[in-house]
Amino acid sequence: MSENEIVPRSGKSDMGMIAYICFALGIFTGLGAIAGVVIAYMQQGQDRGTWRESHDVWLIRTFWVALAGTIIGWITMFILIGWLVFLAVAVWYIVRLVKGWMAYDRQQPLANPESLMFD
């Protein structure tokens, strides 16, 4: 199968889409992102060698970097730049979520899922 080949959706549940939905809910509480990263870790073995594998890596990387950024935001809150850190992490998280979700919906792999940027 080529990288850009579209595979028809099966009737079974789509755990990758559920993970993206959990990550979207995580914007409001953070708990959704925890559920989403657990799903991504659980799916890694099953998705190996498919277009979905890059999405598992993308979501896992997004979770850990957002968590680190949030912790840095809390630590730097007392010097008043924490709010800027929180804002930067939130924008970064949302952009990655939307980019990944759109590629997932088109059933396409992400070009560089281990990158911290948006390529």
CB 48 within 8 A of CB 61: no
| Separation of alpha carbons 8 and 74, rounded Å | 44
| Separation of alpha carbons 70 and 7, rounded Å | 37
Output the pTM of the full model. Answer: 0.83
Q: Which of 78, 96, 95, 76 is nearest to 86 (CA)?
A: 76
SS3 for 12? coil
- Length, in residues, of the chain: 119
Q: Which residues of the chain fall short of a pLDDT of 50?
A: 8-12
Q: What is the pLDDT of residue 18?
A: 93
| Separation of alpha carbons 119 and 113, rounded Å | 8
Q: Which of 61, 14, 13, 53 is nearest to 37 (CA)?
A: 61
Q: What is the pLDDT of residue 12?
A: 47
Q: What is the pLDDT of residue 45?
A: 86
Structure tokens at 103: 């590629």
CB 65 within 8 A of CB 116: yes
Q: What is the pLDDT of residue 117?
A: 73
Structure tokens at 75: 């630590």
| Separation of alpha carbons 44 and 27, rounded Å | 23
